[in-house]
Chain A
Amino acid sequence: MSELLPSLSGNVATIALRDAREQLRDRFLFWATLALLAAATASLVTGAIALHGDAATYAAARAQLLALGKDASAIAAPEFYPLKLMRGMIEQIEIMGAVIALVAGYRAAAAERGRQTLALVLTRPMPRWAYSFAKIIGGMGLAAVTLAIVFLATAILLPVVSGVGLTMGDAGRLMLTWAAGVLYLTALFTLGFGLGLWARSPASGLIYAFALWILVVLVAPQIGDTMDPDNQVAGGVFAQLSVPKAEQDRIKAGFAGYESFRNGIEVASVTKHFERFTFAVLGIKDTYTGAPLVKVMAEKQGDLLFLFLFSLGLGGLVLLRPINPDRLTKES
């Protein structure tokens, strides 16, 4: 018998690394990464096609003006920010990435229950919470590696499809977005893992997880968007009617209660916070395009904080909730 109890950090690392090896071995990581890469590439290429279309329209108009002997500076060249092409990719992380993270979390719990290895691990000399913590760390590692590959590929692909190189500032924004993505996917992994562990059968846990996914990732943000008066016309009602900012604020003030309610639905969704933060950092939202990162961070720290606290809270819930010994096997 071993006289000394094993180190907690050692056990956490052992479980997390075993999980990582298993994910590599059963190719889940491979397929998850490939799916996100394909989605990212498709969104970048689509964005690039639209960009090249804008550039071609500008070039044609400019050439026409010059041919007519007029001053071409009358029309402004389209501004181009390569990171804006990542809009579709971020949306894919929000939706497809969330599904992958939920399924990965579910699998982390279901596989242990199905193989009865959960009982074996829990009878090892370590606190119960350390097991859940190790699983979440493993999930975070999975999210970090998957997104790192996707973001690295994006960083390589962006200059190729757009014809514009990335600056160091752009790289910094990509890293911030990667970190937010890791937090977001870890939260969803934790949700899938927790429900897979707590439900009477892991399959029921997966169903609960998907019900929450629909609510949090799809329904809440969609309701918020649909209820936004400014979204009722493509390009925005105020923009189309050329309503000045001061007038916009005056009109909105008349709908303060409605706007609070609409915003409340949106901000209940972690996905919306992830989107608001990343869209601002990458300059996808026009308000923040080209804005200094310091200013963006100052304005969007609330979204980042929500993302962090949501992940932390969910993780804490999973760690603190005792593992039900009647849920050690696949069916109970």
Chain B
Amino acid sequence: MNIAHETSAAPNGLRDRRPKERTNAMTTALPSVSTSGLGKSYDGAPALHPLTLDVPKGEVFGFLGHNGAGKTTTIRLLTTLLAPTTGTARVAGHDIASDPLRVRAAIGYLPENVRLYDRFTTRENLTFFARLSGVANPADAVDETLDFLDITPLTDRRVGTFSKGMRQRVGLAQAILHRPEVLFLDEPTSGLDPMGVRQLREIVEKLHDRGMTIFMNTHLLSEVARSCTSIGVLAHGRLVFHDSMQAVTDKYDERSLEDLYVGVAERAPQVAA
């Protein structure tokens, strides 16, 4: 995978750090993720205020926010791990509340810091998850996925012996081996070294090129700038910003993404009030 990045012209600018082909070409398609007033409360305390959001098919959506902002709660709602307190959501066209099995069949999910079954090899881990996903020919799916992620040499090694970066790639493999329509990544770069971050970015780009919708929680603003086609910023459980990367780079041409993020996040308490 070789995607050229223009980093020399304007190292701190957003526009030039993004790969040329990262565009919003598919924004007119039906949304892969669509929420309407989706909210979650714990004992009356809102973790996620009613969220209305559309992520079109084929987008790489970067979900930014401080710790405890509600990003993981949102992903858990969309992956059917949590039941919403208010509102509805559709993922890949299926309602998360009334048709959770179809939603699960259509998604891939990589939680933060997944360790997998460490006494099992990569192939054993992936075969297990392929079977649970109903993949017709698990062996072929595993081989193809390992090849796609360029981790074939890890096939017969035990996952317990892997570095964080290697585990993350196997974790990603389990999330995509059934060819999901929507891929949810929760802080996928957490704890990775720069090389690991770069490899993960390249994988995300490859998946985007294949038309997969990617919903990614992250803290890494640089990764959002490089990989995402649209972003949303969540602060104190509220969506305080949502736009395409193209629009962001147009509107905030002279400001860094960090300035934008800090700005909307700082205004969030006033919004919440």
Which residues of A come within 8 Å of B, CB atoms?
1-2, 4-7, 10-11, 14-15, 18, 21-22, 25-26, 114-117, 119-127, 325, 328
A117: chain B residues at CB < 8 Å are 114-117
B114 adjacent to A116 (CB under 8 Å): yes
**Roughly how many angstroms separate A291 CA and B131 CA in the complex, as a whole number?**
51
How many A-B residue pairs lie within 8 Å, measured between CB atoms? 93
By Cβ-Cβ distance, the 5 closest A-B pairs, closest first, are A6-B134, A125-B105, A124-B132, A115-B115, A125-B104
Report B139 CB to chain A, min CB distance, Å: 14
B1 smallest CB distance to A (angstroms)? 22
Residue contact B102 to A125, C-beta cutoff 8 Å: yes
Please state if A26 and B119 are interface contacts (CB–CB under 8 Å): yes
Residue of A nearest to B103 (CB): A125
A6 vs B141: C-alpha distance when bound (angstroms): 15
Is B70 on the interface with A (CB-CB < 8 A)? no
Q: Is the CB of B174 within 8 A of A120?
A: yes
Q: Offer 18 A-B interface pairs, CB within 8 angstroms, sorted by A.
A: A5-B102, A6-B132, A14-B132, A18-B120, A26-B119, A114-B115, A115-B114, A116-B111, A116-B115, A117-B116, A119-B111, A120-B111, A120-B116, A120-B174, A124-B133, A125-B134, A325-B76, A325-B82
Interface pair A5/B101, CB less than 8 Å apart: yes
| Beta-carbon contacts under 8 Å, B80-117 to A | 80-82, 92, 101-102, 104-107, 109, 111, 113-117
A108 to chain B, nearest CB (A): 13
| Chain A, residue nearest B118 (CB) | A115
Contact A2 B132 (CB under 8 A): no
Asked if B181 is at the interface (CB within 8 A of a chain A CB), the reply is yes
Residues of A within 8 A of B101 (CB): 5, 125-127
**Which one of B109, B116, B134, B136 contacts A123 once the chains associate, using CB atoms below 8 Å?**
B109
Q: Are B114 and A14 in contact (CB under 8 A)?
A: no
Best-buried of B92, B116, B132 by chain A (most CB within 10 Å): B132
* CB proximity of B176 to chain A, nearest CB, Å: 11
Q: How far apart sit A4 and B80, CA to CA, in the bound complex (Å)?
A: 19
Q: Which residue of B lies closest to A2 (CB)?
A: B134
Most buried by A among B92, B107, B117, B120: B117
Enumerate chain A residues within 8 angstroms of B230, measured Cβ to Cβ.
none
Complex contact B117–A115 (CB within 8 A): yes
Give per-residue flags for B43-78: 1 if the beta carbon is below 8 A from chain A beta carbons, else 0.
000000000000000000000000000000000100
